[in-house]
């Protein structure tokens, strides 16, 4: 991606809050046409009011809404950048939870974090322009899970695996579409409200993401994730202990 090549739109799922919104703002400031999606109407309206940003309602955990989002994107011209950023994280103990609630929670988490981005990518792929970029946002918790959010960590590990395979597939495609995994550390957003320490701001996360995209990195490791990855190569057991109770 180049900061000066502005052909096509940039699509950011979950671009109405947190890291996604910070990234949408940065891209719009560069003069890009940005389309964001989310569920909450107030957040959508606030994002839509920003210059250069168009907000479209879509619940990624609902397949028909993913199809409808793709149809809307088709009318906006080609896609230069697709950032699969939206996610939810639920904390629960499997041994102390109402089973019916748990099933609903699990559907939402798998739908938003894994099935949604995978389906959106498949449907939107024909719209991605030659030389375009697909970025899937994962987490340090894809390296090793924390016990309080087992399914969140599993969806991120699965998305990591999918991203790598997609990169291998698209390396053989003549359109030259690149695929990047963006691995985030703890960021100070609604997702982490009331927990964790040493968080970075969404603006800093977005700035590092943008730098990594501009440099065409296949994997962008933000903040502490770089050191954590090196440590994980040396001692997976130590990283497992560090992240388990996070
Ligand atoms: N925050 C962290 O510490 C951290 C760490 C590692 C990785 N990450 C990853 O970074 C990404 C951004 O996280 P964040 O902290 O910025 O989250 P956030 O502040 O909670 O924002 C999440 C965004 O996703 C949207 N969203 C949630 N469920 C959706 C659904 N079913 N369909 C469509 N949009 C949906 C939300 O809007 P609505 O609620 O209105 O739909 C919102 O715009 C995620 O992939 C997350 O896993 C975050």
**Does 9-244 carry CATH code 3.40.50.720?**
yes
Query: Ligand 1 mean position to 19 CA, how many Å?
Result: 8
Q: What is the pLDDT of residue 2?
A: 42
Q: What is the pLDDT of residue 6?
A: 61
pLDDT of 4 higher than 50: no
Domain boundaries, the chain: 9-244
Question: For 5-29, what is the mean pLDDT?
Answer: 94
Confirm if 25 and 2 have CB atoms less than 8 A apart. Answer: no
Instruction: Please write the tens of the pLDDT for every residue from 56-67.
Output: 999 999 999 999
Q: Whose CA is nearest to atom 25 of ligand 1?
A: 14
Residue 60 CB less than 6 A away from ligand 1: yes
Query: Ligand 1 mean position to 15 CA, how many Å?
Result: 8
Instruction: Please write the tens of the pLDDT for every residue from 170-203.
Output: 999 999 999 999 999 999 999 999 998 999 999 9
Confirm if 218 and 181 have CB atoms less than 8 A apart. Answer: yes
Q: What is the pLDDT of residue 169?
A: 97
pLDDT of 22 higher than 70: yes
Query: Ligand 1 mean position to 17 CA, how many Å?
Result: 7
């Amino acid at each position: 991606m180049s900061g000066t090549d502005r052909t096509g739109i940039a699509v950011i799922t979950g671009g109405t809050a947190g890291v996604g919104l910070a990234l949408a703002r940065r891209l719009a400031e560069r003069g890009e046409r940005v389309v964001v999606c989310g569920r909450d109407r107030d957040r959508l309206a606030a994002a839509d009011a920003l210059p250069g940003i168009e907000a479209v309602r879509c619940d990624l955990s609902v397949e028909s809404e993913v199809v409808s989002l793709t149809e809307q994107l088709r009318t906006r011209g080609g896609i230069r950048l697709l950032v699969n950023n939206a996610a939810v994280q639920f904390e629960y103990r499997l041994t102390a939870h109402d089973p019916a609630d748990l099933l609903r929670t699990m559907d939402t988490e798998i739908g938003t974090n894994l099935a949604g981005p995978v389906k959106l990518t498949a449907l939107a792929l024909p719209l991605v322009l030659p030389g375009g970029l697909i970025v899937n946002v994962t987490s340090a918790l894809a390296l090793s899970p924390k016990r309080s959010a087992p399914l969140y960590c599993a969806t991120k590990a699965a998305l990591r695996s999918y991203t790598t395979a997609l990169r291998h597939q698209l390396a053989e495609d003549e359109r030259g579409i690149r695929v990047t995994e963006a691995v985030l550390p703890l960021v100070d957003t609604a997702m982490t409200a009331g927990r964790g320490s040493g968080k970075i701001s969404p603006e800093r996360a977005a700035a590092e993401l943008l730098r990594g995209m501009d440099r065409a990195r296949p994997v962008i490791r933000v903040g502490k994730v770089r050191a954590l990855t090196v440590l994980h190569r040396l001692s997976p057991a130590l990283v497992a202990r560090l992240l388990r109770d996070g």
